[in-house]
């Protein structure tokens, strides 16, 4: 094969492999399915689950949950591409991040703008999840703190703020200049830590979201934003217009059940059930729909986790084996090409190496406009990621072969294919197997990121654990992933004995 033809073949192989992993084209959701998405934090999980359960009860369409997507950009693209049909969003985010027009003030203005994008927005669900400042109730009473303005009289107070709040213009920098507040000390701290620090009196003030489950339990008081600095982050449902017209009964029922039905304290209690009591999200959502609190009973989450782990293990295995399998099928021929046509090969390997410099999470994100969300795009991204060790090691193994041995193959008049199969690949097998092993073990780890784009697997638990700030759940995802990596490593010690010819083993 001439170099140009070889390159064309490589490209064709890549494209067809990508095609194999392609999900049904975006927008062409199978009849009768509503895909419910969510971002990866507790409140969003709960609201999405409520939506999912309502869809199930109405029975107009089947429901598919694609929850725990990593961030606003992602849910937004998923929604616009049709990978999800509906998810819970906040008006402030819609105006600032999605429509990029902070001046949009009323729900009607927002709705009109979204309409043009083919999106439908519900009315407010009844609560706003805005930034707020919180102090201990006991201290607030002692110092007479009721509003943020009151802080100006107490420059001796200290604060622990999250890094996001410290940097955002709608966070601390803007707040400080609007209210003219000075504080004795401001520290950067994660939310979970800050709650502990405030509760134990180590610092006085922290930024919170107004529906955080902890507020009530820890007896914290929210300071009133009397100058209306914080933008309104009213919770709404955002859906594809297409979905609302195709399933009008479902949409009407969703609005009926949710619009104006959740005030901040009720939402905070639901969040607390999931965050602090460890109730599975499905249970919390069902409790809300039943109009009450869920029946008491501990251990719900541990049981739910165990039940889930089997399915997640299967998902994870599928992600890893298919993507590494594709990487092997593509990577070995690519390594062979690179070794045969050295110059084109260098370009090819540089290209694959460049793919590797893209952070795995970013690569996963890039897949969304192309392939939507879910397993398909995750598989494509993971395959691309696993390509380098396989192709690189194949190339290295082939180019390291003693040139005399290749000349002898020529003198023995072995054809190209025979030479490759009987001489070159066996001689390079140690290096190739090392590459495949590297690809497998790292993919087990990288595959946990697939959950951010709805790819499933152990990452589902890690993402959820991060959202719920629950170490046990994170570990429930991370530990099996580590075990799986070890298992693959051990398996390969055995596989080496099969694949690598005895004469080469040491």
User: For binding to another protein (CB under 8 A), which residues are involved?
Assistant: 404-405, 407-408, 410-415, 418, 422-423, 426-427, 429, 501-504
CB of 14 to another protein, least distance (A): 30
Report phi then psi at 112, rounded to 5. -65, -45
Q: What's the chain's length in residues?
A: 506
How many other β-carbons are positioned within 10 Å of the β-carbon of residue 349? 21
CB of 448 to another protein, least distance (A): 37
Strands 235-240 and 119-121 come out as antiparallel
Could you tell me which residues come within 8 angstroms of residue 94 by beta carbon, excluding any fewer than 6 positions away?
Answer: 104, 110, 114, 121, 236, 238
CB of 403 to another protein, least distance (A): 10
**In this complex, which beta carbon is closest to another protein, that of residue 342 or of residue 505?**
505
Three-state SS for 238?
Answer: strand
CB of 339 to another protein, least distance (A): 17
Q: How far apart are CA 197 and CA 211, in angstroms?
A: 19
CB of 4 to another protein, least distance (A): 21
CA-nearest of 359, 110, 70, 62 to 78 is 70
CB of 397 to another protein, least distance (A): 12
CA-nearest of 65, 46, 44 to 56 is 65
Confirm if 476 and 436 have CB atoms less than 8 A apart.
no
Instruction: 296-301: list long-range contacts, CB under 8 Å, 24+ apart.
Output: 301/470, 301/472, 301/473
**In this complex, which beta carbon is closest to another protein, that of residue 20 or of residue 504?**
504
CB of 395 to another protein, least distance (A): 19
> And the tokens for 274?
């999931």
**In this complex, which beta carbon is closest to another protein, that of residue 336 or of residue 365?**
336
**Distance (Å) of CA 361 to CA 22, 276, 365, 367, 386:** 19, 29, 6, 10, 14
**In this complex, which beta carbon is closest to another protein, that of residue 321 or of residue 405?**
405
CB of 485 to another protein, least distance (A): 29
CB of 344 to another protein, least distance (A): 23
**In this complex, which beta carbon is closest to another protein, that of residue 482 or of residue 504?**
504
Report phi then psi at 203, rounded to 5. -130, 165
**In this complex, which beta carbon is closest to another protein, that of residue 281 or of residue 431?**
431
**In this complex, which beta carbon is closest to another protein, that of residue 309 or of residue 414?**
414
Confirm if 252 and 20 have CB atoms less than 8 A apart.
no
**In this complex, which beta carbon is closest to another protein, that of residue 291 or of residue 503?**
503
**In this complex, which beta carbon is closest to another protein, that of residue 14 or of residue 423?**
423
Q: How far apart are CA 173 and CA 176, in angstroms?
A: 5
């Amino acid at each position: 094969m001439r170099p140009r033809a070889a390159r064309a073949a490589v490209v064709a192989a890549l494209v067809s492999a990508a095609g194999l992993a392609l999900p049904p084209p975006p927008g062409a959701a199978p009849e009768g399915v509503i895909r419910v998405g969510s971002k990866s934090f507790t409140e969003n999980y709960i609201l999405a689950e409520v939506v999912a359960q309502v869809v199930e009860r109405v029975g107009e369409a089947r429901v598919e949950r694609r929850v725990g997507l990593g961030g606003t950009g992602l849910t937004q693209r998923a929604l616009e591409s049709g990978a999800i049909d509906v998810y819970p969003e906040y008006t402030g985010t819609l105006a600032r991040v999605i429509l990029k027009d902070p001046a949009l003030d009323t729900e009607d203005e927002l709705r009109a703008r979204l309409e043009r994008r083919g999106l439908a927005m519900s009315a407010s669900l009844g609560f706003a999840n805005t930034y707020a400042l919180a102090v201990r109730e006991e201290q607030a009473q002692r110092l007479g703190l009721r509003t943020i303005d009151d802080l100006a009289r107490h420059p001796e107070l200290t604060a622990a703020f999250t890094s996001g709040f410290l940097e955002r213009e709608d966070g601390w920098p803007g707040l400080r200049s609007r209210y003219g507040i000075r504080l004795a000390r401001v520290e950067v701290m994660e939310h979970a830590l800050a709650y502990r620090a405030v509760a134990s009196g180590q610092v006085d003030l922290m930024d919170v979201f107004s529906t955080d489950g902890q507020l009530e339990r820890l007896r914290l008081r929210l300071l009133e934003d009397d100058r209306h600095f914080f933008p309104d982050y009213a919770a709404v449902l955002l859906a594809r217009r297409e979905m609302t017209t195709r399933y009008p009964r479902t949409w009407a029922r969703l609005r009926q059940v949710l619009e104006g039905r959740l005030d901040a304290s009720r939402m905070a209690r639901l969040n607390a059930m999931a965050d602090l009591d460890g109730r599975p999200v499905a249970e919390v959502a069902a409790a809300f729909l039943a109009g009450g609190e869920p029946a008491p009973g501990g251990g719900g989450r541990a049981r739910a986790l165990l039940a889930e782990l089997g399915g997640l293990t299967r998902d994870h295995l599928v992600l890893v084996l298919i993507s590494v399998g594709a990487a092997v099928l593509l990577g070995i021929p690519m390594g062979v090409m690179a070794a045969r046509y050295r110059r084109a090969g260098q370009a090819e390997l540089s290209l694959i190496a460049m793919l590797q410099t893209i952070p795995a999470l970013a690569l996963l994100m890039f897949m969304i406009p192309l392939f939507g969300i879910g397993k398909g795009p995750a598989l494509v991204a993971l395959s691309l990621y696993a390509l380098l060790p396989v192709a690189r090691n194949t190339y290295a193994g082939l180019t390291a072969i003693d040139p005399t041995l290749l000349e002898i193959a020529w003198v023995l008049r072995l054809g190209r294919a025979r030479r490759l199969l009987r001489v070159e690949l066996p001689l390079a097998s140690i290096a190739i197997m090392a590459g495949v092993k590297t690809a497998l073990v790292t993919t087990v780890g990288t595959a946990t990121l697939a959950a951010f784009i709805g790819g499933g697997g152990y990452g589902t638990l890690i993402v959820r654990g991060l959202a719920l700030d629950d170490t046990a759940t994170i570990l429930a995802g991370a530990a099996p992933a580590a075990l799986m990596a070890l298992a693959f490593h051990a398996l390969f010690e055995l596989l080496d004995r099969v694949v690598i010819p005895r004469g080469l083993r040491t």
